[in-house]
Amino acid sequence: MKGVPFSGVLRLSRFIIRQDRMRYLWWLVGIIGMTLIVPPAFNELYPTEQDRNIMAETMKNPAMEAMVGPGDLANYTLGAMVSHQMLLMTAIAVAIMNCLLMVRHTRAEEEDGQAELLRSLPIARHSQLLASMFTLFGVNSLLASLIGIGLYSLSFESMGLSGSLIYGASLGAIGLFFAGVTAVCAQLSESSRGAVGLSFTIMISCYVIRSVTEWIPPFGWLTQVQPYSDNNWVPVVGLIGTSILWFVLAVVLQGKRDIGSGFLPSRSGRAHASILLRHPIGLAWRLQRTAFISWSIGMFVLGLSYGSVLGDLDSFFQENDLLASMIVADENSSLTAQFLPTLMAVLAFISTIPALLSIHKVVGEERKSRVEHLLGRAVSRKKLLVSYLVLALFTGFLMLSFSALGLWLAGTTSMEDPFTFPMVWQASIVHFPALVMMIAISICLIGVAQKATGFVWLYLFYGFLTLYLGGLFQFPNWMEKLSPFGFVSKLPIEDMNWLSAGGLLAVAVILLIFGMNRYNNRDIEG
Amino acid sequence: MNVIEMNHVTKVFGKHQALDGLDLAVKSGEVFGFIGPNGAGKSTAIRVLLGMLRTTNGTATIFGKDVWRDAVDIHRRVAYVPGDVNLWPQLTGGEVIDLFASLQGKINEQKREQLLMRFQLDPTKKCRTYSKGNRQKVALVAAFASDAELFLLDEPTSGLDPLMEKVFQQCVEEVKAEGKTVLLSSHILSEVEKLCDRVGIIRQGRLIECGTLNELRHLTRMQLTVATRNPIESLVSWQGVHDVVPTESGWTFHADADEMEAIMQKLSAHGIRKIESASPTLEDLFMRHYEETTESREV
């Protein structure tokens, strides 16, 4: 196969598709479904131009702009509203999909040794990487076309063909961009976890930076597309162009390294284990330490960025009497405080991710046949699972606290009448029972159906959607209540509902006990 | 006294019957060789013994305790080495050994250092840089540095070079000399032949043969090479004679142990000029059992 640098690419692409077709299907169904549900819902809730203009007024504030980006608020048609409020959030889901899939096809295969097997066959060094790129190019193109056609087929007046196509295309382009970023991360880091962590860090930083400065790729470019109003193709082309640069960089980097190695250095270590590393919980901590530290920093920074917006919001309200008169709801709390529960809810959803990752580590370890080293020694399953549980709870609690700390710190320096730390912290930690509930659901899945643990992500996402959209557009109440986050009191504008918090915890404890019991009584795989 | 006892253990995964009424008894202080090809159920049996898998039927005990219910108690006195040792890429070999030792009881520093030296393992390297053989060494050092009374070794040498295999064999002999019990699953038959007191052959989830090597040899065939003064025309059709191959001056064939007397009488009638016999190796035994299955399957 000399002289054929990319031989086997098509075959490998087919192989990847065959392996992961169900995974693609679920991602596509999820993202497309979430996109197509929204326009009819908006149309129902805001049938007239007047309704939409009121919505546009409430969106005219720095906090919302930080979260969803700028929109065509002057001409807030149904299409403009959908693209304003949904495009950036959907783009993040698409980016997550691409990060996870790309790592799965590249670094994870290499880590598990499958890459070595494949590469010993007459296929070229870059073929696997290229096959992954081709496959994800296909997935993103499919996503783009289906969303474009799907939105158009809803046949709303303000959602024409070109707007729908560009909406889909911009999501596909952001997907490709992050597929490219992740392809590079997979060359840098030596482990698949590290690669996922690195690409998520880049993604979150990009999101945060965008809220400060527009026109920074990729999310800054994305929000310039403005489907259904400007229909600006330039940023889409820019995103696709940049993603090609990422891909080229990934191929070049791969050409410079040995299989299994990375560019970020790994140091030689200690000959003896520390005292901490002599207990299952010490091991669990050690395995998650890096991720924990990165997430802590991430949550703190995210809190800071939201907090800095609070100051802008504060001054904005003081200048804008019309808006102030419009949304006064509660005389006891300031206008800015009205926004606190929404910000905290978003931070709480993101804080749940590291907590769930932490508890899922125990199944990951099982799949890699590493728990047998512990269970084969004098460690009971209960002790093992409780170790991971304690760590997950600890992670969730601290993530909520760090994001509150960041928000409070930035708010204090930018607001005229700043919040007290206890108030911010309470508004954040009030989500803890819901977070515990999510962990308990994960434990149940781990005990009953360890292959289906991924479903908890869908559930988390459902909670986010119902709360995020429901809060803005009055979805039926029961839809929110299907997620534990629907039972969280909106501090500080609501009173603390101890009953629902206690109820959540009680149900969580029952689920925990059930899940642990099942885990104790099932086969350990691996 | 039996350290391990499995009575009619079955294990079903979905539709696949991994263990089909497995009976196994390993006596205290012996080295028991557990042989069979991939997929015969060796690892499943060991994972049942470790309490990782729940039996579908039957009972299994170690030290007289139930392997599922009393797993933690049993594991305090057991050392396990899997064939495929997966370790945490970010920990060093030394950290893993210490972790394993402390999860079991206390660390015997002196033994640990000595074993690291014998297996020539650098404990400061991260596990991600270890080859398969080196990862296996980590598990072996942790096992032999422990005070375990029972060693469950599941193809522990599949990645070791011949020198390290030798070190492994010495380690097994040392623990045996201390009166400890070893269950050695392997398909390196020369290793089993060298180390084991008794051998069990597993096929399709059942123990089809079990005993000392000598006992097993009785059940099987002897290889004979003969040269006779008068040519033997009908050798192929003799009772108990198999695999007849002509040589320059006579024949080579396998003879059933229980037909040996009759065969020798017939042979001497042809005037034996030269006779050589070789007792069957474990490999012959093993191959015979498996050839029989393929033959019977073809019929």
SS3 per residue for A259-289: CCCCCCCCCCCCCCCCCHHHCHHHHHHHHHH
Kindly report the pTM of this predicted structure.
Answer: 0.72
- B122 occurs within a structural domain: yes
CB contact under 8 A, B71 and A380: yes
DSSP H/E element including B19: strand B16-27
Predicted pLDDT at A375: 93
Alpha helix (H) ranges present in A415-454? Answer: 421-429, 432-448
- Write the burial class of residue A241 (CB in 10 Å: 0-12 exposed, 13-18 middle, 19+ buried): exposed
- A72 occurs within a structural domain: no
Helix (H), strand (E), coil (C) string for A6-38: CCCHHHHHHHHHHHHHHHHHHHHHHHHHHHHHH
Contact between residue A377 and residue B104 where contact means Cβ atoms under 8 Å apart: yes
Best mutation target among B72, B151, B153 (most A Cβ atoms within 10 Å) is B72
What is the C-alpha separation between A128 and A13, in angstroms, rounded?
8
Residue B262 and residue B192 share a domain: no
Contact between residue A507 and residue A76 where contact means Cβ atoms under 8 Å apart: no
Residue B197 and residue B59 share a domain: yes
- Report how far apart, in Å, the C-alpha atoms of A456 and of each of A287, A448, A461, A501 are: 22, 13, 8, 20
- A373 occurs within a structural domain: yes
CB contact under 8 A, A373 and B100: yes
Residue A350 and residue A211 share a domain: no
- A62 occurs within a structural domain: no
Q: Is B72 on the interface with A (CB under 8 A)?
A: yes
What is the C-alpha separation between A93 and A219, in angstroms, rounded?
13
Contact between residue A163 and residue A228 where contact means Cβ atoms under 8 Å apart: yes
- Total number of domains constituting chain A: 2
Q: Is B65 on the interface with A (CB under 8 A)?
A: no
Residue B246 and residue B198 share a domain: no
Chain A residue with CA closest to B70: the answer is A380
Residue A487 and residue A374 share a domain: yes
Q: CB-hemisphere CA count at 13 Å for B149?
A: 14
Strands B198-203 and B206-212: antiparallel
DSSP H/E element including B85: none
**CATH value at residue B57:** 3.40.50.300
Residue B243 and residue B192 share a domain: no
What is the C-alpha separation between A397 and B236, in angstroms, rounded?
81
Instruction: Name, in order, each residue with C-beta under 8 angstroms of B138's C-beta and a sequence gap of 6 or more.
Output: B85, B87, B93, B96, B97, B121, B127, B130
Residue B254 and residue B126 share a domain: no
Q: Is A265 on the interface with B (CB under 8 A)?
A: no
Strands B150-154 and B78-81: parallel
Contact between residue B197 and residue B30 where contact means Cβ atoms under 8 Å apart: yes
- A68 occurs within a structural domain: no
What is the C-alpha separation between A344 and B162, in angstroms, rounded?
62
Residue A331 and residue A210 share a domain: no
Report CA A207 to chain centroid distance, whole Å: 11
Instruction: Name, in order, each residue with C-beta under 8 angstroms of A403's C-beta and a sequence gap of 6 or more.
Output: A299, A300, A302, A303, A347, A348, A350, A351, A428
Residue B250 and residue B111 share a domain: no
- B298 occurs within a structural domain: no
CB contact under 8 A, A286 and B90: yes
What is the C-alpha separation between A323 and A408, in angstroms, rounded?
25
Neighbours of A162 (CB within 10 A): 13
- A70 occurs within a structural domain: no
Residue A129 and residue A104 share a domain: yes
Instruction: Name, in order, each residue with C-beta under 8 angstroms of A125's C-beta and a sequence gap of 6 or more.
Output: A5, A119, A254, A255
Best mutation target among A365, A373, A374, A375 (most B Cβ atoms within 10 Å) is A373
Q: Strand, helix or coil at A449?
A: coil
CB contact under 8 A, B75 and A373: no
Of B212, B246, B264, the residue at which a domain comes to its end is B212
Residue A449 and residue A526 share a domain: yes
- Total number of domains constituting chain B: 2
* Chain A residues whose beta carbon lies within 8 Å of the beta carbon of residue B94: 269-273
Of B77, B20, B15, the residue nearest B50 (C-alpha): B77
Comparing CB atoms, the residue among A270, A283, A368 nearest residue B94 is A270
CB contact under 8 A, B98 and A278: yes
- B285 occurs within a structural domain: no
- B83 occurs within a structural domain: yes
Give the minimum alpha-carbon distance from B73 to chain A in angstroms, rounded to a whole number: 7
Residue B200 and residue B239 share a domain: no
Total residue length of chain A: 526
Of B83, B86, B82, B169, the residue nearest B130 (C-alpha): B86
Phi, psi of A126 (to 5 degrees): -90, 0
What is the C-alpha separation between B46 and B186, in angstroms, rounded?
12
Name the residue range of residue A212's domain: 10-30+87-264
Phi, psi of A39 (to 5 degrees): -55, -45
Strands B57-62 and B65-66: antiparallel
Mean pLDDT per block of 10 residues along chain A (526 residues) reads 64 90 93 92 87 79 76 90 91 94 90 80 84 95 97 92 95 96 92 85 88 82 91 94 95 87 72 88 92 89 81 68 55 73 91 96 93 93 96 97 93 82 95 97 94 92 82 74 91 90 96 96 88
Chain A residue with CA closest to B112: the answer is A272
- A61 occurs within a structural domain: no
What is the C-alpha separation between A8 and A124, in angstroms, rounded?
7
DSSP string, B231-268: --SSGGGSTTEEEEEE-SSSEEEEEEGGGHHHHHHHHH
* Chain A residues whose beta carbon lies within 8 Å of the beta carbon of residue B75: 375-379
What is the C-alpha separation between B97 and B141, in angstroms, rounded?
7
Give the minimum alpha-carbon distance from A280 to chain B in angstroms, rounded to a whole number: 8
Residue A429 and residue A359 share a domain: yes
Residue B258 and residue B142 share a domain: no
Strands B198-203 and B181-186: unpaired
- Report how far apart, in Å, the C-alpha atoms of A312 and of each of A66, A328, A366, A412, B248 are: 11, 18, 48, 12, 102
What is the C-alpha separation between A375 and A391, in angstroms, rounded?
19
- A295 occurs within a structural domain: yes
Residue A291 and residue A225 share a domain: no
Residue type, B57: N
Of A264, A286, A305, the residue at which a domain comes to its end is A264
Residue A316 and residue A183 share a domain: no
Residue B201 and residue B250 share a domain: no
Residue B150 and residue B51 share a domain: yes
Q: Is A370 on the interface with B (CB under 8 A)?
A: yes
Comparing CB atoms, the residue among B72, B126, B129 nearest residue A378 is B72
- A48 occurs within a structural domain: no
Of B180, B195, B212, the residue at which a domain comes to its end is B212
Name the residue range of residue B262's domain: 221-279
Residue A150 and residue A122 share a domain: yes
Predicted pLDDT at B298: 44
Predicted pLDDT at A325: 56
Q: Is A375 on the interface with B (CB under 8 A)?
A: yes
Residue A179 and residue A107 share a domain: yes
Per-residue pLDDT of chain B (299 residues; tens, 9 = 90+): 899 999 999 999 989 999 999 999 999 999 999 998 888 899 999 999 999 999 999 999 999 999 999 999 999 999 999 988 999 988 999 999 999 999 987 778 899 999 999 999 999 988 887 889 999 999 999 999 999 999 999 999 888 999 999 999 999 999 999 999 999 998 788 888 899 999 999 989 999 889 998 887 766 678 888 988 888 878 888 888 888 888 888 888 888 877 888 888 888 888 888 888 887 777 777 777 776 655 544 43
Residue B232 and residue B195 share a domain: no
Chain A residue with CA closest to B109: the answer is A272
Q: Is A374 on the interface with B (CB under 8 A)?
A: yes
Contact between residue B185 and residue B207 where contact means Cβ atoms under 8 Å apart: no
Residue A345 and residue A489 share a domain: yes
- B296 occurs within a structural domain: no
Q: Is A230 on the interface with B (CB under 8 A)?
A: no
What is the C-alpha separation between A36 and A451, in angstroms, rounded?
29
Helix (H), strand (E), coil (C) string for A161-204: HHHHHHHHHHHHHHHHHHHHHHHHHHHHCCCHHHHHHHHHHHHH
What is the C-alpha separation between A438 and A443, in angstroms, rounded?
9
Of A264, A296, A311, the residue at which a domain comes to its end is A264
What is the C-alpha separation between A32 and A9, in angstroms, rounded?
28
Residue A305 and residue A245 share a domain: no
Beta bridge partners of B228: B272
**CATH value at residue B271:** 3.30.70
Of B182, B212, B242, the residue at which a domain comes to its end is B212
Instruction: Name, in order, each residue with C-beta under 8 angstroms of B234's C-beta and a sequence gap of 6 or more.
Output: none
Residue B100 and residue B227 share a domain: no
